[in-house]
Structure formats: C-alpha cells, structure tokens
Chain A
Amino acid sequence: MTKEFAVPFHWRRFKERYQLVGSVCDHCKKSYYPQRVICPSCRRGSHMKEMIFSGKGNVHSFTVIRVPPEGFKEYVPYIIAIVELEEGAKVLSQVVDCEPDDIKIGMAVKSCFRRIRTESNTGLVLYGFKFRQE
C-alpha cells in the first residue's frame, strides 16, 4: 500500500523542488514557499509574483529521523530541518553532509540538489533540494 502516484503528480512540482521557486507578494513584500496564488496577509489585494530563492539561510529547528516513513529506510538516520531563508520565508528539507551530532540551531546552510528517494514499484527517482552547511 505504498503511496505512489502517476508521473504528473511529481512533474508539476519539478520547478519548485529543483530550483526552490516560491512566491513574493508585490504589495506587502512577504515571500512564501511553496508558490501561492493568494497572499494570506493581503488576500484580494495581493499581487503574487514568482520568486527564485537564493537557497541561503540558517537552521531554525532540526530533528534526526530514526524511524522513517516508507521509502526512506536507506537514509536513516537523517536530519530534517526548518530553514529560514535569507528572503524571510521558511522551508523544510533534509540537511546532508552533516553528522547528526554537528547540527545546530542558527547554523548557516545553502540549498543543494539531491535525490530524495526512489519509488519501489515504478522505479521513478524523485529529486529536490536539501541543505548543507555553508
């Protein structure tokens, strides 16, 4: 009963996962990841534009996953962090090339392009951004 989806489910997200693309509201200047059509602060007054984040930020909080969901067993233990990007938005992904004991809140990180997992039935390889120490 592994959750596996048809290709378009992933294909339509390539941009936001490969390049860390989000939105910025031209009205209030707040940035968001992932993309939104409506700015929650300005609602109908919002004016959303595509924004490519620099990928630079710092660790806001972190954990080390020891009990993984389906598809992530080979990576255990792996670090999951919320990263506050320099543009203001926060995102969640893994921090790699870092030992679980070395991760700290406030650590400067930069995004990198990595494999996320391989689907077992279709063999589809899923990619996306992760972070590593800058």
Chain B
Amino acid sequence: MSGLKPVREVAIIGIGITKFGEHWNLGLKELAVQAGVKAVDSAGISGEDIQLIVGGNMSGGLFTGQEHGSALLADYLGMNPTPAIRTEGACSSGGLALRTGYMAVASGMHDFVAVGGVEKMTDVYGPQATTALAGAMDYETEAYFGATFPGIYALIARRHMHKYGTTRRQLSMVAVKNHENGFHNPYAQYRRKITVEDVEKSAMVADPLRLLDCSPITDGAATVILAPADIAKKHTDKPIYIKASAQASDTLSLFARQDITTLGATVHAVKEAYRQAKLSSKDIDFAEVHDCFTIAEICAYEDLGFTKKGNGGKLIEQGETALGGRIPVNTSGGLKSKGHPVGATGIAQIIELVTQLNGEAGKRQVKNANIGLAHNVGGSGATVTVHILSRDR
C-alpha cells in the first residue's frame, strides 16, 4: 500500500447526530439536514464557510428511490452552489466519506469540509431491505443463489467456531456487552439491556446467528466538520485530531478468500493506520468496531491486533472489551444496540470517539481516553476503513 503523506494535519471541530431508530416522520433529507445543522452549530462556523460536502449513503435508490443524495443534501441545507460528493462502499460509505473529506483538507484543497452519512431504511418492508443489503455482497455469485447478508456472516461464524473453538456463548456476550453500553447512549435505537439467554432464545436468522446477533434496520444521520489543525482552536476549545485515515479492499465475495475467518482488508487498513499514526495496537485506549453481527466484532478484535488470531472469543469472555476493561470496544452500543443506518454508521463511530475523547460520554465514559480507533466495514469486508483519533495533536 502506498504511503500517505498529508500536506497538513486535520482536526474535527464539530459533530452532529440524530437519534437512531425508526423515524416515521423524517425522510432521507430531513435526517441529513438535522445532523448537518447540529454539526455546523457545534463547530462555531457558518454554513457559508463550508467549501465541500461529502455524504456517505449506501443505497438511497433501493431504500427510498432517491439517488443523487449529495446534491439533494446541498439543496436542502440551503448551501447551493457548494459542491457535494456522495461516497458509497456499502456499510462503509460513512468511513469513505470521512476519508474523502480528510484527503480534501489534508491536501490543502479545502479548509472546512462537512462530512456526513445518512441512511433511511424503514421506508421499505423487511424482504426489500434484505434485498437492498444483499447488494453489498457479490450479487451474481452470492445473492443469486439465495445467500443473505446474515447468511454470509453466519458462514464466517461457523468456520471460526470450527477452526478456533469460538462458542455460541461468546457470540452472545458481544451482544450483551453492546446493549449494556447502548443503554447509556441517548442516541441509541435499543436502550435495553439483554441477557445471554435472550440472545440464545431469539429467532434463528441464519444458523448459528440469531436475531439478537444481528444489527437492526435503522434510520439515522451523522455529520462531522473537518478543518486544518492549525486553525482548529480558533473554532473550538476541544478539537480532536485525525492521526490516521486508512482504507483497504478485498474480494467482494467471501468464498474467494483464502481464509474466511479473517477480514484481510481490516488487517491491511489497520497496518497502514498504525504506520501513519506511528502507534501500535497497544496504544489504542478504546475502539468503535463494525459489529454488524456478533461474529464480526470477534473477528475485528483479532484483525485489529487487540488479541491474537483465534482468541477473540476469549477476549469478550474475559471482559477485556467491556467498559472498564483493558480496551473498551463499542461504548456507543455498537451497531447492535445503537443501530445501523448503513451509510451513517462510519460517521456515528467517529462521533462516539470525539465524545469519549472530550470526556463527554457520561455513564459510558472511558477513563483516560486519549486515543481511539474506528473500524468501518463494507459488505463482508470488501471495503474497510480505519481511522485513529487523538485528543492531543
């Protein structure tokens, strides 16, 4: 992978997020505008200062009939003729938006960039949503034969259990932990604690994955404002610095990979992120990882280097990723409890990092949170972004 050399450092100076959940009274544009306005307000700038809008959105087309969401957003934010770009990498569309905005500021091309993500998923019924999400995998060789998105992660889970002895209970513990955290997040979709028994009695979706192993269908939007680090303190007392912005790709189809229990793109992206930040996995105080399914969080522990390959199940069992553990993961509630509006998720993760780094996470606050990592996955790992944020420049 090529070595990124930013011309200048980049800071986050404002954040805005909607409540995640089922918003019957809000459409795609209202959600995006709500998060955008909050972010601009918190950045202490005016909309006229924004030179570029980058919006992550997986499938406005299949979920709402609306493509071209970038221009829609600029329009309804009243920001024409500001340029707007939509990024799409399935569930990593938000991570791609941040990376695109980061490149725009780091290169010196733009000063103030609004980076958002939005997905409106509840305007279609369940089977249509399942079909839309199936587009994140290889359509002609996976979806064609009747594979579903939970089914693809179930294939990963089954092989991980076979190869490393990962247990049903360990998968359940991921969901239990994330609901425990999400209970304390006012923006989370499901603020409800659950037990291992709840998970294991929930309806089977794709063996061995049950309903409570799966992230939900969610409406929501999130926005952050980027600025050059040199001028960040003019606008906020608490800028958060982006120390790394990395991305990698892998085969679209799961079956084409040598080892289906590891997300190769995560391994490559995080290696590049640690290189950029001049850090190692030991320096990370807490992380938001892409737990679209419980098994995905266990794979992420391993692929991000928080533990050795095959040991992810034990990490959750030993409580190391719980709040108060060695490396708290998904303090926001993760995709599981906070909700997963696919295009917004990558930005929502960043908002949790900023909230934690600023010491504003209330009952879910991580002690001594100085460096946080965000891991956003598209499909079964064909696109992965990793960002590392720091309180200190």
Contact = CB atoms under 8 A, between A and B. Distances in A.
Given A3-B131, A66-B204, A105-B158, A75 B146 contact: yes
B195 interface: no
B165 to A, nearest CB: 13
Contacts of B57: none
B5 interface: no
Given A64-B206, A65-B146, A92 B260 contact: no
Interface string B140-152: 1111111110110
A92 B140 contact: no
Interface residues of B, number: 37
B146 A105 contact: no
A69 B127 contact: yes
Report, nearest first, the 9 A-B pairs whose CB atoms are least far apart. A63-B154, A61-B159, A90-B255, A64-B207, A61-B155, A82-B255, A92-B255, A63-B206, A93-B145
A98 B130 CA distance: 25
B155 A63 contact: yes
Given A67-B205, A80-B155, A1 B260 contact: no
A105 B155 contact: no
Nearest to A84: B255
Contacts, number: 107
Interface residues of A, number: 38
A70 interface: yes
Contacts of B145: 80, 92-94, 116, 128, 130
Interface of B: 62, 124, 126-128, 130-131, 134, 140-148, 150-151, 154-156, 158-159, 162, 203-209, 253-256, 260
B207 A116 contact: no
Given A60-B260, A70-B131, A82 B155 contact: yes
A41 B59 CA distance: 32
Contacts of B130: 67-70
A130 to B, nearest CB: 8
A34 B206 CA distance: 25
B128 A1 contact: yes
Interface in A33-85: 33-34, 60-70, 72-73, 75, 78, 80-82
Contact of A61 (B126, B150, B162): B162
Given A66-B204, A92-B145, 9 more contacts: A1-B62, A34-B140, A63-B154, A63-B206, A64-B204, A67-B130, A69-B134, A70-B130, A94-B146
A20 B203 CA distance: 35
B254 A82 contact: yes
A61 B159 CA distance: 6
A69 B131 contact: yes
A31 B388 CA distance: 38
B146 A116 contact: yes
Contact of A70 (B127, B155, B156, B253): B127
21 contacts: A1-B62, A61-B155, A63-B151, A63-B155, A63-B207, A65-B148, A66-B204, A67-B130, A67-B148, A67-B150, A68-B148, A69-B130, A69-B134, A69-B143, A70-B131, A92-B141, A93-B145, A116-B146, A117-B146, A128-B145, A130-B145
A67 B206 contact: yes
A36 to B, nearest CB: 10
B155 A62 contact: yes
Nearest to A92: B255
Interface string A78-116: 101110000000111110000010000100000000001
